[in-house]
A = this chain, B = another copy of it.
Amino acid sequence: MGEFELLALLRERLPTAGGRLRLGSGDDAAITVPGGAVATSVDALVEGVHFRRETATLRQIGRKALSTALSDLAAMGAEAGEAYVVLGAPERMSEAELLELGEGMAAVAGETGTAVAGGDLTRAPVLTLAVTVTGHAERAEDFVTRGGARPGDALVVTGELGGAAAGLLLLEDESLTGDDGLRGRQLDPTPLLAAGQALARAGATAMIDLSDGLAGDAGHVAVASGALLAIEADDLPIAAGVAAVASAAGRDALELAIAGGEDYELFAALPPGAVAAAQEALAALGTSLIVVGRVEPADDAGPRAEIRRRGGEALPSRGFDQLRPRRPR
């Protein structure tokens, strides 16, 4: 089967219709009519760097590639729009395997209302995915950047932390036992698109998705906003089962929660008066929202995130690099 035939088969499996899409895959370019502001994000997943074939099925890899890309749009408060996928496939991969990967993507596209509008298929030495996603809002100002947190704002986080890092420990060391739900947090994260839009509507001043870990990601918000983000370690919502896995692996649960990364929860700043309404809106979506700290003016040491133990001791803002598998060093 040639490239064009395989692309046609993949295309059949992917949702390609969307309100803003006028022409999908198969021409020199896809055509959209956004009718407002567009948020665009690109994300790469490389075998051996971001995932290992031994611990994930191709369907899971396809799902995660699109989900993690869409998570960046969730962090803007965007409505999901279109996805464009570059797939680099090693020679040993069969067509059936490529279609399994495509079906994983198609499932997430269907669940999130994303139209897969284009792509490119090529040979590569290892399985390589590069996903571009576009999201929409009426006006550019409707998107929530990392840079708007103001002193006095409350810091909030959705859901629970540490689950994905604990899941990674379980996947990489079969002698450990733990909840399958933790493995699921690592293998199949959910992009919180509706929650992101609700937080934007509730007046979030800054937002980011937790891909690298709270310590690092909150640091990005702090620097972009020129503020000090004071986070209470003891208030962080650590996922059930994380403490047991951490203990069995000789790790610290808090370390997994703040530096493990890949939870793809949302971390946001909200004016204090907006917190209750935001919590109510997210509760209606089945998502919890917990206040974990507040924004303070930057002091002489400059903008940064400080994660503090009760009593005032600050943890290192970026400390546990060895757990972060997603980024090159």
Which A positions have Cβ atoms within 8 angstroms of B?
Answer: 2-3, 22-23, 26-34, 36-44, 46, 48-50, 72-73, 75-76, 78, 82, 84-86, 88-89, 117-126, 128, 130, 132, 134-135, 139-140, 143, 145-147, 207-209, 224, 327-329
Among A30, A31, A49, A124, the most chain B Cβ lie within 10 Å of the Cβ of A31
Q: How many copies does the complex hold?
A: 2
Among A2, A39, A78, A130, the most chain B Cβ lie within 10 Å of the Cβ of A130
- Contact flag A43-B120 (CB < 8 Å), given A27-B224, A28-B72, A29-B72: yes
Q: With a CB–CB cut-off of 8 A, which chain B residues contact A22? A: 37, 140
Q: How far is the CA of A145 from the CA of B30 in the complex (A)?
A: 9
Q: With a CB–CB cut-off of 8 A, which chain B residues contact A44? A: 86, 88, 120, 122, 124, 130
Q: With a CB–CB cut-off of 8 A, which chain B residues contact A123? A: 46, 49, 328
* B43 near A32: Cβ-Cβ < 8 Å: no
Closest 8 CB pairs of A and B: A130-B130, A123-B328, A29-B39, A29-B41, A28-B75, A132-B132, A86-B130, A28-B72
Q: How far is the CA of A96 from the CA of B34 in the complex (A)?
A: 38
Q: How far is the CA of A140 from the CA of B35 in the complex (A)?
A: 12
Among A26, A82, A139, the most chain B Cβ lie within 10 Å of the Cβ of A26
* A40 near B82: Cβ-Cβ < 8 Å: yes
* B46 near A118: Cβ-Cβ < 8 Å: no
* A31 near B140: Cβ-Cβ < 8 Å: yes
Q: With a CB–CB cut-off of 8 A, which chain B residues contact A88? A: 44, 46, 128
Q: With a CB–CB cut-off of 8 A, which chain B residues contact A224? A: 26-27
* B30 near A122: Cβ-Cβ < 8 Å: no
CB < 8 Å: which of B42, B128, B145 contacts A128? B128
Q: With a CB–CB cut-off of 8 A, which chain B residues contact A208? A: 28
- Contact flag A42-B119 (CB < 8 Å), given A3-B328, A29-B76, A86-B130: yes
- Contact flag A27-B145 (CB < 8 Å), given A33-B38, A122-B50: yes
Q: How far is the CA of A134 from the CA of B33 in the complex (A)?
A: 12
